[in-house]
Chains A and B, each alone.
Chain A
Amino acid sequence: MTGTGTGKGIDRRRLLAAGGGLALTGALAACGSNTGRGGGGSGLGISQWYHQYGESGVEQAVKRYAAAYRKARVTVQWRPGDYDRQTSAALLTASGPDVFEANGPLLDQIRGGQVVDLTSEVEPVKDDFNQAVLAPKIWQDKIWGIPQAIDMQMLYYRKSLLRDAGLQPPQTLDALVDAAKKLTSKKTKGLFLGNDGGVGVLSGTPLFAAGLSLITEDGKVGFDDPAAARTLGKIRRLYADKSLLLGAPTDWSDPSAFLQGLTAMQWSGLWALPQVEKAFGDDFGILAFPKDGPDGRPSVPVGAYGAAVSARSAHQAQARAFAKWLWVERTDFQQDFALSYGFHIPARTSLAKKAAKLRKGAAADAVRFATDYGYAEPLLWTSASRTAYQDALSRIIKDGASPESELKSVVRKVNAELARVGKT
């Protein structure tokens, strides 16, 4: 405890402390955030976010569009990984994007004031947008996102396999259950609805096929009906019959399982059409989800990523102008975006009509399904409602839980959510 070493010029303590201080400064300096706006430079910078598209060429294309904008310097961020979660987190702070595409925007993002009203930008061409995909972007008569391109899902089947089994393409859910069972063999399963047995991807599709809905037009629960339990019970039968392919290396959004012959039928997206066409030529067909029950009608889910502007953006006016320029004015870019890479339907009806690629073969069928049978998840279908519904669906399909009692608790949850978002 006696003092020593005080006579030295620089002692160990001082050196260590200085080193520690330097390290701390460095660490803090490294904490600076990369917002994608680019450092320094002249001119105003806007950052724009996209999720990672699977089709090659999209990234280059969106960067090309951004570079063509003259009024501001737009930096595109291509964000692989869990995009929804990244944007959710980024919107809590000011360091997020200015313009971003969203699988939404979600109702809670709108209610929370995280995105700005784009009504005046869209208003002049509002009627030209596909109304089914525009509807979920509207809350309290204001438009919160500009639909970019329409995605849809449908059922792919191998014509030859069905013919060999003496089957017609199934037009009812019962026929689908039977066909899947007959097509199942030691090597091939009848139907692929995703590795979770259809829980995630089907969502409200079977309900629409039974003539019901998730949320009705007047904002009530749309499946508080015995028909819902009956239809979901049939999906359970697909699982119980062991007709479903489960645990494939790729999920439903990728046509690989279908292409590799692991399954005779697969639920997938329009985007998979070019790959399937290339692999099977004429030997495949597509269907909407078959109808069930007397009030049923075929159904296909449609949806569109929407371009939204962050409310915390420092350059809100410029960001809105850019969003309008790209997704309202530049129809040439919109057409290129929807049709040149993967397979999407342009969100603008006028462009969809012009697209030659969508006029023949399976693509034409798909467009017809989307127009006649398309439904979009309503904005009021919140994430909490979806989770409750998917949990119940999983228990019905996999555990054989009673559809009636499972749905009853979902209805209760959805009613609570509707009450929550209904209050101002």
Chain B
Amino acid sequence: MTVKTTDAAGGPAAGAQPAGAAQPARPSRWLGPQRRTLWFWVFVGPFALGLGLFTYVPLAWSVYLSFFDAHNTVSPTDFVGLGNYTSMLTDRAFLSSLGTFLLFTAFIVPATYVLSLSLALMVNRLRFAQAFFRSVFFLPTACSYVVASLIWKLSLFNGVRFGLANTVLGWFGADQTAWLSTTDPPWYWLVIVTVRLWLQAGFYMILFLAGLQRISPQLYEAAAVDGARPGWQVFRHLTFPQLRATSVAVVLLLVINAFQAFDEFYNLLSDARGYPPYARPPLVYLYYTALGREQNLGLGSAGAVILALIIAVATVVQARWFGLGRKED
């Protein structure tokens, strides 16, 4: 490699020199052969700079803040050691927000998975109007979480008699239900989960469709020849295993998305005076602690660091478990 690159650098450069110039241009140690190092930085530099400035500096700063009593300041002086961490880990509200998040993930990931896979299987079997149905199910993905949340909150699931859900229930003589304010039974989960299902099922359906179309038809023919019954048997032993790569990606994306849950929770449940203590995922809680009126940036940062560690561990475990990036056999 070394020989080759020296050649490549020296050769053409020397060849291009007029005969009078005795010395070939010496490849600088800093610029690299053919000034590749320079070009590397010209291309990568702006992005590295942006990444560093807008991602890593704030990240490091947040870790720094988490060791200080930083009320209403980003340049604190009052060092408190691990105080913020202990108070965060003994904070009932923070722990319950982690519980909320786990509950939400445990439900939304399998639910979206099953729903989008079923949609994909159905759309894939269509003989006509496939493009139409594909678009119809995909369209909600283009809608913003904020807009969808407001529609869910103000028109579908509002608590008064003319809300859509209450109107339908009213036909059967049921009482009006305050969907987002009732904690027993916790109807607010119905609102939160349906809005996310509606928004994201279409996107994952497209991923599954792509996966389905990659499965070779010969496999199905071979299965038919071997006597596999179409339907469950073919799905269980052929389609589903063939979708393994897609499934891994979908589950990983779903879990990451669930970690980031904020938009629909915030827009459905917050009001001018705050946020109720239920259905409060960690990001919403930290948002109020660090960025709300409380402005307790030290405590909020400690919470963010704890959350980041949890996410890191979960991702590593998940990658190991599913063998993400492992070569297909």
Contact = CB atoms under 8 A, between A and B. Distances in A.
Interface of A: 1-4, 6-7, 13, 16-17, 20-21, 24, 84-85, 88-89, 91-92, 106, 108-109, 111-112, 114, 187, 194-197, 199-201, 203, 242, 245-249, 251, 253, 262, 382-384, 386-387, 390-391, 394-395, 398-400, 409
B241 interface: no
B39 interface: yes
B43 A7 contact: no
Interface string B166-202: 0000000001001111111000000000000000000
Nearest to B161: A187
B277 A395 contact: yes
B291 to A, nearest CB: 6
B257 interface: no
A1 B4 contact: yes
A108 B273 contact: no
A383 B292 CA distance: 9
Given A24-B46, A246-B182, 6 more contacts: A247-B178, A248-B160, A383-B294, A391-B93, A395-B277, A398-B182
Contacts of A251: 271-272
Contact of B272 (A4, A199, A200): A200
Closest 5 CB pairs of A and B: A247-B159, A200-B273, A246-B178, A112-B72, A391-B277
Nearest to B96: A391
Contacts of B73: 92, 112
Contact of A109 (B39, B72, B180, B273): B72
Which range contains the number of B residues in contact with the other chain? Answer: 35 or more
Contact of A247 (B9, B160, B272): B160
A249 B154 contact: yes
19 contacts: A1-B4, A3-B11, A3-B12, A84-B293, A88-B72, A91-B72, A195-B159, A196-B181, A200-B272, A247-B157, A247-B180, A248-B158, A251-B272, A383-B295, A386-B293, A387-B294, A390-B277, A398-B181, A400-B184
B134 interface: no
A251 to B, nearest CB: 6
B42 interface: yes
Contact of A253 (B159, B163, B272, B293): B272
Contacts of B39: 13, 17
B34 interface: yes
B317 interface: no
A383 B8 CA distance: 67
B286 to A, nearest CB: 12
Given A24-B46, A88-B72, A251-B271, A2 B8 contact: yes
B86 interface: no
B95 to A, nearest CB: 13
Nearest to B184: A399
Given A200-B271, A200-B273, A247 B12 contact: no
B151 to A, nearest CB: 12
Contacts of A200: 271-274
B312 interface: no
B319 interface: no
A250 to B, nearest CB: 9
Nearest to B72: A112
Interface in B281-299: 288, 291-296
A354 to B, nearest CB: 32
Interface string B127-163: 0000000000000000000000000001001111101
Interface string B12-50: 110010000000000000000010000100110010000
Contact of A262 (B160, B180, B272, B292): B160
Interface of B: 4-5, 7-9, 11-13, 16, 34, 39, 42-43, 46, 71-74, 92-93, 154, 157-161, 163, 175, 178-184, 271-274, 276-278, 288, 291-296
A108 B71 CA distance: 7
Contact of B288 (A21, A199, A387): A387
Give the one of B11, B182, B183 with max A CB within 10 A: B183
B197 to A, nearest CB: 21
A410 to B, nearest CB: 11
Contacts of A391: 93, 276-277
Given A111-B71, A199-B276, A387-B274, A247 B11 contact: no
A85 to B, nearest CB: 6
Contacts of B294: 108, 382-384, 387
Given A196-B181, A398-B181, A249 B291 contact: no
A2 B154 CA distance: 65
A120 to B, nearest CB: 24
B179 A247 contact: yes
B222 to A, nearest CB: 44
A18 to B, nearest CB: 9
Contacts of B11: 2-3
A398 B42 contact: no
A82 B299 CA distance: 22
B292 A20 contact: no
Contacts of A3: 8-9, 11-13, 34
Give the one of B157, B178, B182 with max A CB within 10 A: B178
B288 to A, nearest CB: 7
B271 A195 contact: yes
Contacts of B5: 1
A91 B297 CA distance: 13
A196 B271 contact: yes
Nearest to A88: B295
A215 to B, nearest CB: 17
Nearest to B33: A3
B159 A248 contact: yes
A203 B274 CA distance: 11
Given A3-B34, A194-B271, A112 B163 contact: no
B274 A92 contact: no
B163 to A, nearest CB: 7
B42 A20 contact: yes
Give the one of B5, B13, B42 with max A CB within 10 A: B42
Contacts of A395: 277
B211 to A, nearest CB: 35
A187 B159 CA distance: 12
A422 to B, nearest CB: 14
Contacts of B71: 108, 111-112
